[in-house]
Amino acid sequence: VSLVVALKVKYPNRVTLLRGNHESRQITQVYGFYDECVRKYGNANVWSLFTDLFDHLPLAAVVDDRLFCPHGGLSPSLDTVDQVIALDRVHEVPHEGPICDLMWSDPDDRLGWGISPRGAGYTFGQDISEKFNHENGFDLIVRAHQLVMEGYSWTHENRLVTVFSAPNYCYRCGNMAAVMEINENLVPNFIQFDPAPRRGNSASIPASQHIPDYFL
């Protein structure tokens, strides 16, 4: 995360960072980011600064008015992109509501809206994707959020694609990862990759003995 934030600072008009369900105070304490910050810097100040930053990240992106890119999925409370833009996003991800749905919802083979087994967001069918794309002039929804074994997966008759970029998720799932490139005609191409070899046990790395002044 430090690298992508640094790239955003260096290339502010060429890098767009989006908020996902993991960019929250609660989830970062469960999945290790909080512990990593404390281990490396000796206190939680860096974690606090990052989570404050997460509050300001965009909830979705639009590419050339044809691709809609949320982290998770759609919301029954949001029919248009203008409604997404109007949301007050600068706070912790709530447990329900449209911001939560954009972070947590998943596509489904069943039509309509459904209760998500995750306990947050919804499931949504092909009819929902088609309606949202049609009403907003989109060709495709590009999202992440779900582990897919080949790194990417098409669904809803190629109106939605899931791109998952964390190989061997949690060091045990054995999945490939992928990134999606698009050309000037917005035709996608997927680059798949395997995990890099692990470099020792990160849990054994001691806390830094010297904490930079700007993190105090």
Active site residues: 22
Distance of alpha carbon 150 from alpha carbon 146, whole angstroms:
12
Place of tokens 């489904």: 108
CB 157 within 8 A of CB 126: yes
What DSSP line would sit under 36-73, residue for residue?
Answer: HHHHHHSSSHHHHHHHHHHTTS-SEEEETTTEEEESS-
Q: Dihedrals φ, ψ of 125, to 5°?
A: -95, 180
Distance of alpha carbon 54 from alpha carbon 33, whole angstroms:
13
